[in-house]
Structure 1
Amino acid sequence: MAIGGGIIGGEGHHSVVAARVAAAAHVLFLTTAVLMLVWLLRFRGGINIQSDDPEQIFNVHPFVMCWGFILLLGEAILAYTTIPMDHRTQKMVHMLVHLVALILAIFGVYAAFKFHDAAVAPDLVSLHSWLGILAVALFGLQWLFGFFAFWLPGTHERTRAAAAPAHVAGGLAIFMLAVCAAETGLVQKSGAAASTGEAKLINVTGIFILLYGVAVATAVALRKAFFY
């Protein structure tokens, strides 16, 4: 009984800590989103995919990739920790938010290519672009894998149980790859910033994106300690 009580107590502790870390991640989510908006609106002239100004077209890319890909990706991962509903509802939210993130990521890549076309600049020449394309491509495959493994009718429960660890680990790895891609992109923009104030804001935004990634990964690790 003492051993069982210790295990239950440990599980409860992991669950509480995971929820607190997830709450911290939500705060980092909001802070990062606001910082990104301030940068694009205050220092870069706004966001407009239909603009004649190539820079405004480009601004769609970091806006969509930050808000729509990295932040939503993290929130979808956190769905199991933060949504107080039944497991099936959590799975549904997880899948649908990931789908929205994938659609927005594809749109963000389109915005980057449209900017290069408008600015007469070459495509896919930076490490940032390579990491970004890889992250989006792997994420698309991960979403398809998750759909067929966990939502397709007729999939055996043992198959789902066997696929779950690879799905969790792969999803988290892709999320961190997306964070790395964002960091390399911000490094490029920080080096080319028009003022010291803009460079500092870009750097602070990059730090908050990194902290968000760490918080999401920590919440997942704690939740796995609770459930497995």
Structure 2
Amino acid sequence: MGKGTFDEIGSTRVTLQWFSIMVLSSQVVGVLAIILLAVLFGQYRGGFGWTVKFNYHPLFMTLGMVFFYGDAILAYRVFRDVKKLRVKILHGSLLALSFIFSTIGLKAVFDNHNFANPPKANLYSLHSWVGLTAVILFAAQWVCGFVSFLFPKLSEDLRKAYMPSHKFWGKAIFLLAIGAVLMGITEYSIFYKIYNNNDVDYQRHLICFFGVFVLIFAGIVLYLVSNPGYQRPPDNEIEHVPLAD
């Protein structure tokens, strides 16, 4: 029995160490993706300013719908020993921050099209359709989650009934956002002939590494929230029903 207990504790330690490594890795690759995008548009594609509003679009959409959204999904895994209400507030706040960045990103691209001379068409590509759908679904998901789990908060039976849908759509919208971001940077590269211009091959490399890091970040987030071994321990539950993920 003693040997079994030791093995179980040792296994738990290894599991939590691996969990910590994966969480840290997700933050490293996520930050690297943001840095690469900032360097690409800030250094080589016109910089950031009121006269080049579009460049805010890819940066803010990635910050909102990828990085902060992914961190919000991970909140219940990372802060496993923190009081549930505090994690709820953190989770909701990160999602609100995601929506703010995404809204600014959308305004940047619409302003860029509408105030161009002559004006450019809006919502003409698959990327724009998928991206706008992801933001709309994200906003609806946040409102439903806030009302159901934070304030005014539904009854326990209703929360239990809604929870599977909340979990599913949380991950589905995240995947939709990842697809939109990758389609967007690819569309931009094709439109501005970055892929077939050897004079800007360094920009092509930045874009490729950015895409790889976004995929790695998304993969780690989904792995951590899909692994039952990393769920918040039942002893740490303040309520019977977790908020998400």
Larger Rg: 2
Among 93, 101, 110, the residue aligned to 1:104: 101
Question: Residues of 2 paired with 1:17 and 1:166: CA distance?
Answer: 29
Name the counterpart of 1:118: 115
Question: Residues of 2 paired with 1:28 and 1:45: CA distance?
Answer: 25
Which piece of structure 1 moves more, 39-48 or 179-188?
Answer: 39-48
Question: Residues of 2 paired with 1:75 and 1:146: CA distance?
Answer: 16
How many percent of aligned residue pairs carry the same amino acid?
A: 31
Contact 2:19 2:230 (8 Å CA) reproduced: no
Question: Residues of 1 paired with 2:165 and 2:12: CA distance?
Answer: 22
Alignment of 1:43-62 (within 5 A): 43-48=44-49, 50-51=50-51, 56-62=52-58
Question: Residues of 2 paired with 1:28 and 1:161: CA distance?
Answer: 34
Name the counterpart of 1:134: 133
- Alpha-carbon RMSD across the aligned residues, in angstroms, is 2.4
Secondary structure of residue in 2 paired with 1:158: helix
Question: Residues of 2 paired with 1:109 and 1:72: CA distance?
Answer: 16
Name the counterpart of 2:33: 32
Question: Residues of 1 paired with 2:103 and 2:221: CA distance?
Answer: 23
Higher helix share: 1
| Structure 2 letter corresponding to 1:80 | Y
Aligned pairs, how many?
A: 222
- CA offset digits 1:134-169 (Å, max 9, x no partner): 000000010011011101235212222232222122
Q: Post-superposition shift, 1:21? A: 1.9
| Structure 2 letter corresponding to 1:58 | F
Structure 2: which 5+ residue stretches go unaligned?
Answer: 235-245
The answer on 1:217 being equivalent to 2:218 is no
Contact 2:146 2:153 (8 Å CA) reproduced: no
**Alpha carbons of 1:58 and 1:93: their partners in 2 closer, same or farther (altered >3 Å)?**
same
Name the counterpart of 1:206: 211
Q: Post-superposition shift, 1:85? A: 1.9
With structure 1 as the length reference, what TM-score do the two structures score?
Answer: 0.87
Secondary structure of residue in 1 paired with 2:115: helix
Question: Residues of 2 paired with 1:118 and 1:153: CA distance?
Answer: 41
| Structure 2 letter corresponding to 1:19 | S
Q: Post-superposition shift, 1:7? A: 8.7
Alignment of 1:64-83 (within 5 A): 64-83=60-79
Name the counterpart of 1:18: 19
